[in-house]
Structure 1
Amino acid sequence: MEPELELLKIDCLGKPLRLEGSLAGWQQLFWDNQLVSQKAASIDNGGLKVHEFELTLTRPTTEPQDGDAPVTSHTTLIRLETDLVWQPFRFDYRLLQDDEVLTQGTRTEKDIERQTPEVPVVKQQKVSIVGLASLGFKLLKSAKVIKVVLAGASVAAYSWLFSFQFALALIACLVFHEYGHIRAMKYFGMKTKGIYLIPFMGGLALSDEKINTRWQDVVISIMGPTFGLLMSVGALMAYHATGHVFFAGLAAFNALLNLFNLLPILPLDGGHILKSISFSMNSITGLIVCVIGAALGVYVSYTLGLALLGFLLLIGSVEIIVEWRARHQSHLLPLDRYGQIFSTLWYLLTVAALVGIIWHLAGTGDDMLGLPLKILQS
């Protein structure tokens, strides 16, 4: 079964009671990590649902004197009543024991964003070469020295392509881009492991924690290019203030780098953003709108002579449409209608601003500054 979203985790008679569910309609209820009730997938994936299970409780009848005290046992009925709305997300629940209310409440998207999902206990495996290799990779990845080595290799690689000064500036752009991802992760209360620079590939912002909602995926993904856009705007302002072509080149190539990251191809940032938007559309109308928007983007790209951008947009759009059918299998809470519109506008405005910077600097007549635009037109 696909991973499910943790809808609820509360105390029940001194033990954790956890309800997991998915857009496909699956629901599983665990008491003390034991499966006690489940609902199969159905077209009606929300609304009112009731889980019931019985527990046998024991307690001593008298204080122990000599030996163990006699015990009595009785069966009690536990009933969990839920009312679930996916868009906008709202989860009302009421827990009863033998028709007596133990607790009740409401959960919203904010509660889902801040929760830490239950981590299943993994049985220890015998020592193997694969296991040792995996452990070695984890230790290697967590070591600070690896960050320094990768950063040094990145500086050397970009210095070979351009110049040492430009390589340092490009590394600063990459770090600023990844810092945008880090800031978004910290906003959602996620623990981060820092930034890793990879020669010729860019960088990675890593976290040990997993996201719970599509909104988190959108914000974390788009904040990198957004910070990159701010970096390009700052460099463009410095160029117009000083007239130094170094700042213009920095603005142009940084804009190209972040524009590439926004292409709707996984695992790029743009792929995560558009996948979260399209997978949150539960109606055929939503899919049609997504297709029309993708077609419009391809048309505009080819009209402006941006052949490469249009081609990659086409590939990414087809990929997202094909995967749209599997959206119900995701454990991520979908975007509501407002989130879909806001995320789409944020994405389109960021792309337009980056293209505008590249186009503006290409008009200066400098061959070096016109290179990013020629790449898009190739």
Structure 2
Amino acid sequence: MEILNLNLLGRPLRLEGTMSGWQRLYWDHQIVSELPASADPDGEAEHLFELHGEDGAIKCCVLANINWHPFELNYRVLINDQIADEGKRSLEDLEHSAPHEVMPIKKEVNLVGLASLGFKLFKSAKVIKVVLAGASVAAYSWFFSLQFALALMACLVFHEYGHIRAMKYFGMKTKGIYLIPFIGGLALGDDKINTRWQDVVISIMGPSFGLFLSIVSLIVYELTGEVFFAGLAAFNALLNLFNLLPILPLDGGHILKSISFSMDSKIGIVACALGAGLGVFLSYQLGLALLGFLLLVGSIEIIAEWRLRHESRLYPLDGYGQLFSLTWYLGTIGCLIGIIWYLAGTGDAILGLPLQVLQS
């Protein structure tokens, strides 16, 4: 993960590190110092390097004193034994800053590079959003109806807007929302994440916004008796419930992966496996066969990848963060299932379809 980014002699100075003690220092996108992993990753690390210019060699030193739990970095930058910069960073600073990728300069121009650049320009153009949105409306209208298409688009936009709001909360740049026919929506950001907490919040805010829309629609239905709003609440709840399945790249997959990958002990992953097993058992007991099957597949996938957690450069959740994230996740799922179940009990055949899907 990127733990420090500042300016030294007019060029970017970046320090990357992992909780195993490994550190790598870049100046002007070039590696100038690297430290291997160690048994005691906390404490002060010293990076020494020289820069050569017209006036001779310049001796540089970066002193980084890191405490990982909770994260705190105190640093000093010295040039020829004189302090050029110093300061400290907390976990909050880490969460509200986006890592910068080291991009090597490509000297050759080839067709692959030009195609990649063209795709990026095409993707960033505002016109593509309008084209995709229009194609989505046309496709859903063809198979269903215009009213259904517009309602579905509203659900997708509201869901994706939740992701966008979370990205902006962490100070990340966003490219907006793209609606893709028969696939759904996609909220794109320009920046990468630094912590597991960012991954959890950005992922769960979409379904949370979706849950809010279903609750509002349900209230309007109760006040007006208009079945349209009941249908909106039910099908929107089903849409967001599937997004919370623990299958990558769905939102639920990101959430549970961040929680499980933050667990250092085997006891934690055993508890996660038991929780997944309980979820599968309850799903089948309640007659939600499809939900139970997908929950089982997704849980096995995440548990199988748990051994790779140390290769990640994302700062993990602490115990409180794991418990809070899991409670938020399960609470959202429970509320969505509750809305589907309640509306299925009205006796309306259309409103019962989401529950029938889960029971299939």
Equivalents in 2 of 1:150, 1:286: separation in Å?
A: 43
Contact 1:37 1:51 in 2 (8 A): no
Equivalent position to 1:83, from 63, 66, 71: 66
Pick closer, same or farther for the CA change 1:252–1:103 going to 2, 3 Å: same
Equivalent position to 1:172, from 154, 172, 181: 154
Deviation per CA, 1:262-296: give whole Å up to 9, x if none: 00101101111111111111222221221122112
Pick closer, same or farther for the CA change 1:57–1:195 going to 2, 3 Å: closer
Equivalent position to 2:262, from 280, 291, 294: 280
- Per the alignment, residue 46 of structure 2 pairs with 51
Q: What displacement does 1:130 show?
A: 2.5
Q: What is the RMSD of the two structures over their aligned residues, measured on CA atoms?
A: 2.3
Equivalents in 1 of 2:53, 2:131: separation in Å?
A: 60
The aligned runs of 1:343-358 (5 Å cut-off) are 343-358=325-340
Q: What displacement does 1:143 show?
A: 2.2
The aligned runs of 1:88-103 (5 Å cut-off) are 88-95=70-77, 103=85
Equivalents in 2 of 1:223, 1:140: separation in Å?
A: 28
The aligned runs of 1:353-368 (5 Å cut-off) are 353-368=335-350
- Per the alignment, residue 63 of structure 1 pairs with none
Pick closer, same or farther for the CA change 1:37–1:373 going to 2, 3 Å: same
Equivalent position to 2:249, from 267, 270, 295: 267
> Secondary structure, in 3 states, of the residue corresponding to 2:200?
helix
Pick closer, same or farther for the CA change 1:317–1:206 going to 2, 3 Å: same
> Secondary structure, in 3 states, of the residue corresponding to 1:248?
helix
- Per the alignment, residue 159 of structure 1 pairs with 141
Equivalents in 2 of 1:326, 1:358: separation in Å?
A: 36
- Per the alignment, residue 228 of structure 2 pairs with 246
- Tell me which amino acid in the other structure corresponds to 2:92: K
Pick closer, same or farther for the CA change 1:42–1:291 going to 2, 3 Å: farther
> Secondary structure, in 3 states, of the residue corresponding to 1:240?
helix
Contact 1:38 1:51 in 2 (8 A): no
Q: What displacement does 1:53 show?
A: 1.8
Equivalents in 1 of 2:27, 2:109: separation in Å?
A: 32
> Secondary structure, in 3 states, of the residue corresponding to 2:315?
coil
- Per the alignment, residue 35 of structure 2 pairs with 39
Task: State, as a whole percentage, how many aligned pairs show the same letter.
Answer: 65
Equivalent position to 1:216, from 198, 208, 211: 198
**TM superposition score normalised by structure 1:** 0.88
Equivalents in 2 of 1:235, 1:165: separation in Å?
A: 16
Contact 2:98 2:172 in 1 (8 A): no
- The count of residues paired between Structure 1 and Structure 2 equals 360
The aligned runs of 1:117-128 (5 Å cut-off) are 117-128=99-110
Please list every run of 5 or more consecutive structure 2 residues that lacks an aligned counterpart in the other structure.
none
Contact 1:24 1:329 in 2 (8 A): no
Equivalents in 2 of 1:133, 1:366: separation in Å?
A: 52
Equivalent position to 1:27, from 9, 23, 26: 23
Equivalents in 2 of 1:253, 1:24: separation in Å?
A: 46
Q: What displacement does 1:240 show?
A: 1.1
- Higher alpha-carbon Rg: 1
Q: What displacement does 1:239 show?
A: 1.2
Equivalents in 2 of 1:103, 1:352: separation in Å?
A: 50
Pick closer, same or farther for the CA change 1:76–1:123 going to 2, 3 Å: closer
- Tell me which amino acid in the other structure corresponds to 1:285: I
Equivalents in 2 of 1:354, 1:56: separation in Å?
A: 59
Q: What displacement does 1:52 show?
A: 3.9
Equivalents in 1 of 2:287, 2:23: separation in Å?
A: 50
Q: What displacement does 1:160 show?
A: 2.9
Contact 1:23 1:329 in 2 (8 A): no
Pick closer, same or farther for the CA change 1:122–1:39 going to 2, 3 Å: closer
Please list every run of 5 or more consecutive structure 1 residues that lacks an aligned counterpart in the other structure.
60-70
Deviation per CA, 1:6-47: give whole Å up to 9, x if none: 112345566544221123432112344443322223444x21
**TM superposition score normalised by structure 2:** 0.92
Is residue 168 of structure 2 the alignment partner of residue 186 of structure 1?
yes
